[in-house]
Structure 1
Amino acid sequence: METSLARDLMSDEEWAFHERFILALRAPNGRKPLNHRLVLDGIFWIARTGSPWRDLPDEFGKWSSVYRQFRRWTLAGLWEQILEALNESRLVPDALQMIDSTVVRAHHQAAGGKRGTPRQGFGRSRGGFTTKIHLRINGAGLPMRSDITPGQTSDYLGFDLVMDDNLPEPSVLLADRGYDSGKVRKTMEARNVVPVIPMRKSRKLRVAVDRTLYRLRNLVERCFNKLKNARRVATRYDKTAESFLGFIDITSIRLWLRHLST
């Protein structure tokens, strides 16, 4: 008797949430759609297990069809639309926000994408062949915006990537001293945001930090840990930046829905 490899499938409520975005994206005169619920579960299975697409269990359908649908949805911006809708719902507190970055190893088979490795978010750092994930989260510890750069990229650039967006503006922004720069502080002050960022030791003019408030920054570290439970995020196997960001967004969406269902 064969054992099903399908685990952690969507609930009816989770599918109902995704379905309206998928139907809104579908061309009205296009071909009859596949079983999108099964396809989406197959994509979630790949994200969770980190398996190659060719190893997708047959119960999800033909692997190449699931992969092509993943690419269509990714390039059409489906995952970004869903995350944007979740952020705009204001269902969780977002006056307090945090940013941070983490470096993930890239598998050697991820190399070889078109336009060269730097444009696909690959670089060389102490960890070797790596990609850096930049993340912005809300007060509930849920992802709001993510982006990627080569592993050796400064956090200053990551700040511009995740904060330059039409997301709900924070009242307070927590970040570690890697974001301590005059430009970052001036940008936040111009937007009426209070930056809670420890100062570098080389700074002559010191600014006090609310340590009690700063302790809440552990939420962003915990968010990274939850994202990396998806093995397709913990190690980068994708050649293109779009696909890797797609898996980060997919995992972020599932974190949101699990939080809202509790």
Structure 2
Amino acid sequence: MEASLARALMSDEEWAFFERFIFAVRAPNGRKPTNHRLVLDGIFWIARTGAPWRDLPGEFGKWSSVYRQFRRWTLAGLWEDIMEALNQSGSVPSALQMIDSTVIRAHHQAAGAKRGTPRQGFGRSRGGFTTKIHLLVNAHGLPMRTEITPGQTSDYLGFDLVMADNLPRPSVLLADRGYDADKIRDGMEGRNVLPVIPMRKSRKKRIGVDRSLYRLRNLVERCFNKLKNARRVATRYDKTAESFLGFIDITSIRLWIRHLST
């Protein structure tokens, strides 16, 4: 008898969390309701294993139907809505925040989407296409916001993308020296945020940094490691920026749920 591939399925508590958001965006069309729980488990299986959609086990349903539902939810902004609700819930302190970025290699078959590679978040390097993930986390190392850009994009641009106005405002922001710019420092101080950022060697005006506080920045690096446990995040297989960012958000949401359930 063939062993089931459908392991690590959602618990009833996790499904109860997702269910209210899913039915809030579902548009009635007169068709028989889909088993959204099974579809969502299929999407999680793809995110975890990094497998092609066509290799989705049949016990999750027809792969094309699961893929189309994933795209519908992604384009409807479902994952962003869930992330915003988690950030605004106040269940985790957000006074201390950290920002960082990492470069992800893209599979060669990920290229070729419409509108060109730069618009889909691809950058060229000697090793092929790359995408940079910009990440903002809270004091518990949980993702607050993620954005993607071509791999060669400066961290300065990524900073403006993730520091959204709809997020809880930090009191202290930790970042590495890649974010050491007068524009960033002045902007944070103008919002009454203390920037804890080491100086670049080229900086003429010396600025001190609280080293004991700066050590907490490892939380954002550990968050990247957790996100990359999902193979669909560790390597980019998706042609479109929306799909790849959708998998990052899905993995981020599951990190939140696991933390809140402990």
TM-score (norm 2): 0.98
Deviation at 1:126, TM superposition (A): 5.4
Of 96-105 and 127-136, deviating more is 127-136
Partners of 2:126 and 2:160 in 1: how far apart?
A: 23
Deviation at 1:33, TM superposition (A): 2.0
Give the aligned residue type for 1:225: N
Query: CA–CA distance in 2 between the matches of 1:30 and 1:194?
Result: 53
Runs of 5+ consecutive residues of structure 2 not aligned to the other structure: none
Aligned letter for 2:46? I
State the 1:164 CA deviation: 2.7
Q: 1:29: how far off?
A: 4.8
Select between 153-162 and 164-173 the one with higher mean Cα deviation. Answer: 164-173
Deviations 1:105-164 (A, max 9, x none): 000000001100000000023553100000000000000000000000000000000003
Q: What is the correspondence of 1:152-231 to structure 2 with a 5 Å cutoff?
A: 152-231=152-231
Q: Do the aligned partners of residues 31 and 261 (structure 1) sit closer, same or farther apart at CA in structure 2, a change above 3 Å counting? A: same
Taking the aligned partners of 1:3 and 1:90, their CA distance within structure 2 comes to: 42
Where does residue 148 of structure 2 map in the other structure? 148
Counterpart code for 2:137: I
Give the direction of change, closer, same or farther, for the CA distance of 1:172–1:126 in structure 2 (3 Å limit).
Answer: farther
Equivalent in the alignment of 1:14:
14
1:89 aligns with 2:104: no
Alignment of 1:1-262 (within 5 A): 1-125=1-125, 127-262=127-262
Bigger shift: residues 17-26 or 127-136: 127-136
Q: Report the 3-state secondary structure (helix = DSSP H, G, I; strand = E; otherwise coil) of the residue aligned with 2:54.
A: helix
Q: 1:93, CA displacement in angstroms?
A: 1.2
1:27 Cα deviation after fit: 1.8
State the secondary structure of the residue aligned to 1:119.
helix
Would you say the 8 A contact 2:108–2:128 is kept in 1? Answer: no
TM superposition shift of 1:58: 0.2
* CA–CA separation in structure 2 for the residues paired with 1:239 and 1:177: 32
Q: Work out the CA distance in 2 between the residues paired with 1:106 and 1:175.
A: 26
**One-letter amino acid matched to 2:9:** L
Give me the whole-angstrom Cα distance separating, in 2, the residues matched to 1:53 and 1:29: 25
Aligned sequence identity (%): 86
Deviation at 1:31, TM superposition (A): 2.5
| Structure 1 unaligned residues grouped into runs of 5+ | none
Q: Structure 1 length normalisation: TM-score?
A: 0.98
Q: 2-side partners of 1:3 and 1:151: how far apart? A: 40
CA contact (8 A) 2:122 2:130 kept: yes
126-135 vs 103-112, greater mean Cα deviation = 126-135
Pick closer, same or farther for the CA change 1:30–1:163 going to 2, 3 Å. farther
- CA drift of 1:73 comes to 0.1
Q: Distance in 2 between matches of 1:180 and 1:127?
A: 28
Shift of 1:30: 4.5
Q: Distance in 2 between matches of 1:158 and 1:202?
A: 21
Preserved CA contact (<8 Å) 2:227 2:234: yes
Measure the CA separation in 2 of the matches of 1:222 and 1:55.
Answer: 30
